[in-house]
Chains A and B, each alone.
Chain A
Amino acid sequence: MADKVLNVSGLTMDFGGLRAVDTVDLDVRQGEIVALIGPNGAGKTTFFNCITGIYPPTGGDVMVIPPGMEPQRLNGLKPNQITIRGMARTFQNIRLFPNMTALENVMVGRHCRTSAGVIGAIFRGPATRAEERETISISYKLLQKMGLKKHVNDLAKNLPYGAQRRLEIARALATDPFLLLLDEPAAGMNPQETTELDELITQIRDEDGISILLIEHDMKLVMSLSDRIFVVDFGRKIAEGIPQAIKDNPVVIKAYLGEEFEV
C-alpha cells in the first residue's frame, strides 16, 4: 500500500516475563481515522508508548511514511526524534506544563520547528524576532481553532478539564505532524464536550489532512469517528475492520463482556 503513513508489524513489548504487547500489526493510511480499542489493561497505551519511543520495543518494526517521502524506521529513536519525524501524541493522564500559560504550552510544541539558540535569545536579532512572531501567531491560531481563545494567557493548570484535553491536542498539532496519536481524548468529558471533540477531530483530519490514531473507551465516539478499528486484548490483536463489522464481531464482544456471556 503506497498511501500508508504508519505501518507497525509484529510489535512486541516485554516487561520482564510479562508480554504487554504481543506481535501486533497495525497500519494507518493517509487521511484515515483509526481507533485502537480494548478492555482495560489490554496494552493499548503500552502500544502507544512503544511507537512513540517512550519504551524501546522488544521486537517488531515501526515504520512511518511521511506523505511523499521515503519510509523511516522508528525503532530505537528517542521520543523527540520521533516527534520531529512528524508523529505527535497526547497523553491519557493529561501531561500539560501546568505552570505555563496555554499559549506557552502550544509554543513549546513549536520548539522542534524553530531554531533560535542562546545567542539568538540574548541578542534577539531580526531572524529570532521573526521566528518568535511566527511561533506566537501559529500558536494563537491553533488555540483559536481548538476553541481556547479566551484561555490564551491562563495557566494550563487553571483550565477546565475539557479545555486541558483540547490544549494537549493543540500542543501536539503545533509540532506539524502528519499523524496524530490521541490517547483517550474523550476521557472524563461530558456528552456535550465529546460531541464537540468528535467534530474537532474530524475537522483536523479534513482540513489539515492529518491522519489520526486514537485510543478511546467511549464506543459511541469510536463508532461515529473511525474509519477502521483495531481491537486488542491481553496484548494481542483480536480483530480489525470497519466499525460495523467490529460491533458484530463475537470475539470482540466476548473480550469486552466475558466468557460466559452468550451472544
Chain B
Amino acid sequence: MVAEIRKSLIAAVWFIFLTFPLMVVKVNTIENTVEWRWHNMLIVGVTFFFLSWLWRYLLQKKEEGTLTTKGALTKWTDRVMNEPAIYKPLIAVGTVAALLGPLVLSEKHMQPLISALIFIVLGLGLNIVVGLAGLLDLGYVAFYAVGAYAYALLNFHFGLSFWAALPLGAGLGAVFGILLGIPVLRLRGDYLAIVTLGFGEIIRLILENWDDLSHGPSGIANIPGPTLFGDVLSRSDSTVLIYYVIIAMLVFTIFVVNRIQNSRLGRSWLALREDEIACQAMGIDRMKTKLAAFAVGATWAGMAGVVFAAKSGFINPKSFEFWESVLILSIVVLGGQGSILGVILAAFVLKLLPEYVRILGEYRMLLFGAAMVLMMLFRPQGFISNVRRSYEFHGLDEEGADG
C-alpha cells in the first residue's frame, strides 16, 4: 500500500514538473508580469495521483487477462454474435430504426448520420485491405476522392446522373486500386504504409493544382443529388433518398464482405496477412491476391465518394486530406480488424460523438490520441474481435457443413 502511494506520488510530482510551464506560469506580455497559478499545480497533482492509480490497476487487470482475451467484454460480444436468440432481435430493431430514421430525425441530424454511414462503408472497404489482407494502406482517402470527383466532373461536363455515376465510381475506384497496387506489390509493412501515404497525397495535390481538370482548391459546386425516377427532388427529399441509398449500400457491403471473408479469396487474403512465405508455398499467387485486395477495397471507397459528392453538393480537395485516411484507419483499428460489427460501432463513435458532444469536438485530437494509445495497450484486437467461422460436421462421412 505504501509502495503504491509512493509510486503514484512520484508520478504526480513528475507531471507537476512536466506541466509546470504550461499550467502554472502565465506570462502577461503586455504588462510584463508573470502570473503564478499555484492552484493549477494542486489540480494536476491530485489528478495524476489518481490517474496513475487507475493506470496501474488497469495494467494489473490486463496481466491477469480479465480485460482482454478472456474478459467480460469479449464473452459478451461473442454471445451477441453467436446466439441467434440475441442477435436476431437486435438485427430486427436495427433494421426498423434504420428504415424509420428519416421520419423521426430532422435534416440537421440527418447530415451527420449520413456522414457516419459513409464512413462505415469506407471503414468496411478499408477493412478488406487492412483487416483481411493485412496491407497497411494510409492513402485510402484517395479512392474516395476518385469516386467523388468522378461524379462531380462527369456531371459537370456531361451531365451524368447519380445512378450512372455510382457503378462508374466503383469501377474507377477499382482501377485506381490496381494502379496503386502494381508498384507496391513488393512492399509490405512500414514501406507499404509510406508509399500508400504518398499516393494519397499525390491524388490530393493533383486535385488541388490541376485547375483545368479539377477546378483547383475552389472545388466543384452545385453537384446535384440523386433523382427519383427522373424527378428532381428538393434538398430535404434528396437527403432522405441519399440516406436510403447509403443504407442500401451498407447492407450490400456487409453482405459482400461477409461472403468474401469465408470464401477461397478471403482465406487467401488472411493467409497472406498471416504469413506471406507460407502463403506462397501453398500455391497462392501473392501478386494477384494483393491486387484483388486493393481493387476490391478501393471499389467501396469509389462508391462512397459518389454518395459523398451527391450528399454535400460541393467538393474540394479539403475533404480528402490525410486526416480522413487516418480517421478511416482508426475506425478499422478501433473497431477490430476484420470485424464488421466493430467497424460499424467505431464509425459511430468516431464520427457521430464529436458532432453531438461539443467538448469532444474541441479536444477531439487529444482524446483521439489518448483513446488510441489506451486501446492498443488494453484491447489491441479492437472493440469486437473477429471470430473465425467454425464448421460443424455431421457424421463421419463429413458431408455438408454449416457455421
Taking beta carbons and an 8 Å cutoff, which residues of A are in contact with B? 52, 54, 78-80, 83-84, 88-89, 91, 95-101, 103-104, 107-118, 120-122, 124, 128, 131-133, 135-137, 140-141, 144, 152-153, 155, 171-172, 174-175
Contact = CB atoms under 8 A, between A and B. Distances in A.
B277 interface: yes
In the A-B complex, the 8 residue pairs with the smallest Cβ-Cβ separation, listed nearest first, are A112-B283, A121-B263, A83-B283, A97-B274, A153-B390, A95-B278, A79-B280, A140-B398
Contacts of B401: 133, 136-137, 140
Interface stretch (B14-22, B119-127, B143-151, B284-292): B284-292
B358 interface: no
B212 interface: no
Contact of A101 (B268, B283, B390): B390
Nearest to A175: B283
| Secondary structure of the A contact surface, majority rule | helix
Contact of A121 (B266, B398, B399, B400): B266
Residue of A54, A104, A109, A120 with most chain B CB atoms under a 10 A cut-off: A104
A109 B259 contact: no
B292 A111 contact: no
A117 B268 CA distance: 11
B271 A108 contact: yes
B220 interface: no
Contact of B268 (A54, A95, A103, A111): A111
A114 B388 CA distance: 21
20 contacts: A88-B281, A96-B274, A99-B270, A104-B267, A108-B270, A111-B283, A116-B264, A117-B264, A117-B265, A118-B265, A120-B263, A121-B260, A121-B264, A122-B259, A124-B259, A132-B264, A140-B398, A141-B398, A171-B282, A175-B282
Given A80-B285, A108-B268, A54 B277 contact: yes
- Size bracket, chain B contacts: 20 to 34
Contact of B275 (A83, A96, A141): A96
Nearest to A109: B282
Contacts of A100: 267, 270-271, 274, 388
Contacts of A101: 388-390
Given A108-B284, A113-B283, A152-B391, 13 more contacts: A52-B281, A80-B284, A88-B282, A99-B270, A99-B274, A108-B267, A111-B283, A117-B264, A118-B296, A122-B260, A131-B264, A140-B401, A175-B283
Nearest to B296: A118
A175 to B, nearest CB: 5
Given A116-B263, A141-B398, A95 B277 contact: yes
Interface of B: 256, 259-260, 263-268, 270-271, 274-275, 277-286, 292, 296, 388-391, 393, 398-401
A141 B266 CA distance: 22
A98 B283 contact: no
A97 B264 contact: no
A18 B260 CA distance: 46
Given A99-B388, A100-B388, A171-B282, A111 B393 contact: no
A181 to B, nearest CB: 10
A119 B271 CA distance: 20
A98 B286 contact: no
A88 B278 CA distance: 11
B388 A118 contact: no
Nearest to B403: A153
Contact of B282 (A112, A131, A133): A112
A121 B280 CA distance: 21
A54 B276 CA distance: 11
Tell which of B278, B296, B390, B391 has the most Cβ of chain A within 10 Å. B278
